[in-house]
Amino acid sequence: MNEKSNKPSLLISFGGNALNVVDQDHAHQNEEFVIARKSMAQVVELLKSGYQKMILTHGNGPQVGQIFLQQELTRNEFPRQVTLDVCVADSQGRIGYILQNVFDNICQEQGVSKRSSAIITQVLVDEMDPAFKKPTKPIGVFYSSQDAEKLKRERNWQMGEDAGRGFRRLVASPKPLEVIEKELFAQLLQRGYVAIGGGGGGIPVIRNSEGNLVGVEAVIDKDHTSALLANELEVDQLVILTGVEYVYLNFNSSSPKPLRQVYAGDMEKYLLAGEFAEGSMKPKIEAALKFLNNGGKKAIIADLFNLQLALEGKTGTHISVN
């Protein structure tokens, strides 16, 4: 709980589309700043209503996809390929700068005495995690079967067909174990900053035999990292913002049922029953339950642009301990 406010502390996880300009093939860079204002304006409104202690994490799927596409389009001119950990770091710097810049500008415009700071965030994973033996996370652009075979030979990439649309690179998605910069997050919060970080689930690193951190070719689920960071910092509530207003049962049926107020035990049963899709809602539910099982007070899953209404209890799926 905050020392100067009766409002709970929050970790807000923004989906990758918080900056993504949809349906525009040739969008200008400035459009990302325009889209970011919609997200950050919501955070500033929370400050004005009494919330003070907040951490913002974010996805990076569309942005990392763009980085990979840029590499592919220039592979003959610039044959050196950037490794996946560096791609994640690139996206963290880009998105962190945009969110920090926009947030601080809105605060200045509205006379709100608050600043933000973005943190390049490394996340420790286990090099023996089973995910490394069976990569399942598709990233990047689509390839023909012939090009996929060539990439397997030349770059030792794992490739897999994705929904009949072609072949994509498959990478490991190991579980996060520790946010390396967690103490820096804590220091920023103590100094009154809104902390931004954990982008794209964090830069995946392992410790080698000498104890040094070494980046690995993997992608960590951002909501799992968000839950871990929230627990490490003893945050009260985890808010996961995504592209739907509620979590639904029977989502792909003719009569989906929205979940509004749910106990963690009941949500666990729905999860085990296979109600939630892999790579979509399932990791969000897993992250929410992990957060609650490790001391969190409430988890909320809601639409990306309904943050204030979700915290007022007027929309979103609210998951609480039994």
Which residues are tagged catalytic?
A: 16-17, 137, 222, 284
Reading the block at residue 302, the tokens are 């809601």
Angle at 152 (CA atoms; ends 147, 153), nearest 5 degrees = 100
Task: Please tell me the distance from the alpha carbon of residue 82 to that of residue 65, in angstroms, as a whole number.
Answer: 13
Reading the block at residue 73, the tokens are 């389009």
Q: In this structure, what is the dihedral angle of CA atoms 103, 108, 112, 114, given to the nearest 10 degrees?
A: 50
b/e burial code for range 40-52 (CB count within 10 A of at least 16 → b): bbbbbbbbeeebb
Phi and psi (nearest 5°) for 56?
-115, 125
The sheet with strand 122-124 has its strands ordered as: 178-179, 122-124, 203-207, 213-215
Task: Please tell me the distance from the alpha carbon of residue 231 to that of residue 33, in angstroms, as a whole number.
Answer: 30
